[in-house]
Amino acid sequence: MGKFGTQIPQIFPMSSIKPYGTGYRVQLYVRGQRDSRTFDTKKAAQLWAAQRTIDLQTISSGQEGTLRTIQDAFDKYAGEVAPTHKGERWEVVRLAKLARDFPRITLDKLTATHIQQWRDSRLKQVGPASVLREMKLIHSVLEQARREWRWLTVNPCAEVRKPTAPGHRSRVISRQEARALLRALGYPKLETARHSVAHAFLLALRTGMRAGELAGLTWADVFAGFVRLPKTKNGTARDVPLSAKARRVLEKMRGYHAESVFGVTAGSIDVHFRAARARAGLSGMNWHDTRHTAATWIAPKLQLLELCKMFGWRDPKQAMIYFNPSASDIAGKL
């Protein structure tokens, strides 16, 4: 307390190291900032306390960026922020690669030129769509470092021009291609994971469900005329109506797995799909094209808002992206 009973602000570092369970717990209070951590040994606790005190003093003076590298930002984001996202696996893998792509420099030295050089180099390796996704991730990391961690004062990504976005895919899987892929997956057998993926592929064509949604589908989510998806890409639940053909696919899966309908992961679906595509001699097709195909097959049977409800589109314009009939299909209705 001060002379007149007022609280004196704490600006000098304070720390305590005390036994905690089978180890030691450190508690720090440095320039108004608190931190704590538990260690197995007292020596490890003392070393961390000394280094963390320096870090907190640096943060309070606004110089954190002189200590932290862009690799530190990628690592922290992968450990703390990515796990809160549905695309955690992709983000963590991508962040590890980005950490290798960038020079090891402190954030106060990071400029828009570094981002531009990475962008131009990356465009020689992959298409604009991939670069756009990765640039969005880099921007998110640096924005987190700027707003939340106070490691940056300016996000250099904001000054970098993004590559032109490619046009939307309009690939529809033909019925002949679908039959060839099903044969390559061993349909109609149902003994192995490959056979299960064949049935998941067929249900995707009947409903437009994504690979992750199919992999996460449990029997508790299956009802008489629909399946309930508690978590979807846009973060909301969705009920997907089932046609008679879709119901038959699901009924065939009864008994294959106790809880999960297909008993496979999204990664397993992708691996088996790619292998079957190669065996069938097909090209230019990916799993997400099943969603375009389903929308194209189902759209003539539903009204626009019904179609949006089924596919989980908040914007009806999405229907124009996914509904891709051929000119001959339209001509047949004239």
Q: What is the pLDDT of residues 72-119, one digit of tens each?
A: 999 999 999 999 887 788 899 999 999 999 999 899 899 999 999 999
How many other C-beta atoms are found inside a 10 Å radius of the C-beta of residue 92? 16
Q: For residues 235 and 308, what is the distance between their CA atoms, to the nearest angstrom?
A: 16
How many other C-beta atoms are found inside a 10 Å radius of the C-beta of residue 4? 5
Residue 7 has what pLDDT? Answer: 42
Of the two residues 16 and 221, the one the predictor is more confident about is: 221
Among candidate residues 59, 20, 60, the one with its CA nearest the CA of residue 36:
20
Q: What is the pLDDT of residues 138-195, one digit of tens each?
A: 999 999 998 888 888 889 998 899 998 776 777 899 999 999 999 999 999 999 999 9
Indicate the pLDDT class of residue 304, thresholds 50, 70 and 90. Answer: confident
pTM for the predicted model, two decimal places: 0.62
Residue 60 has what pLDDT? Answer: 53
Q: Does domain 175-331 have CATH number 3.40.50.12280?
A: no
Residue 272 has what pLDDT? Answer: 97
The DSSP element (H or E) to which 70 belongs, if any, is: helix 70-80
Residue 3 has what pLDDT? Answer: 44
Segments making up each domain of the chain, as ranges:
14-61, 70-159, 175-331
Q: For residues 66 and 81, what is the distance between their CA atoms, to the nearest angstrom?
A: 22
Q: What is the pLDDT of residues 2-12, one digit of tens each?
A: 444 444 344 44
Is the pLDDT score of 48 beyond 90? no
Q: For residues 201 and 275, what is the distance between their CA atoms, to the nearest angstrom?
A: 14
Is the pLDDT score of 201 beyond 80? yes
Average pLDDT, the chain: 86
